[in-house]
Structure 1
Amino acid sequence: MVAQNNHNYFKISKRVPVEDEWEKIRKEKVKQRILAVKSRRTELQACIEGEEQNLADIQIVVLGASWSAKSSAGNLILGKEAFQVDESRTTVCCKVRHAEVQGKQLTVVDTPGWFWQYPLEKTSETDKLEIRRSVHLCPPGPHAILLTVPIATAFNQTYQTAVEEHMGLLGKEVWSHTIVLFTRGDWLGDTTIEERIEEEGEHLEWLMEQCGYRYHVVNCKNHTDSTQVTELLKKIEEMVMENNGCHYVPDEKSNPFNELELKLKKGKTDIEKGQRQKYMLQELLKERGKKLSEVRIVLLGGEGVGKSSSGNMILQRYFFETTLEEGFKHQPRTKQCTIKQRKIAGCQISVVDTPGWSTSNLGDAKEILRSVTVCSPGPHAFLLVLPVDRTFTKKDEKTVMELMSLFGEHVWRYTLIIFSGHWLRDRPVEQYIACEGEPLQTLIRKCGNRYHVQADESHNLKNLLKMIEEMVTRNRGEYFTEKKEEKKATTSVIKWFTGKVLTEEEWNKREDELIERMLEAAVVDTDAESKQPSGRQRGSFDGSVPNSKFQ
Structure 2
Amino acid sequence: MALCQPELHAILLVVSTLSQFSQDKWETMEAHLRLLETTIWQRAMILFTHGDKLGHLPIETHIKSQGRMLQWLLERCGNRYHVMSSQDTASGRQVQVMVQKIEKMVEANMRPTEMQQRMYTLLREELRRNTERGWQGGREDADMAVMHDGIPKQVWLASRTTVLPRGFLAEPPAMRAGLGLILLGRRRSGKSLAGNLILDREAFHMGTKTVQCAVANGNMSRWTMTVVDTPGWSMFGMAQPEQVKLEIGLSPSLCPPGSKMAFILAIPVDSFKERDRRAVEKYVSVLGDGVWRSTVVLFTYGGELRGRSIEQYIEKTGEPLHWVLDRCGYRHLVFNQYTTDKTEVIQLLEIVEQMYG
TM-score of the superposition, structure 1-length normalised? 0.32
Structure label with greater radius of gyration: 1
Give the TM-score normalised by structure 2.
0.49
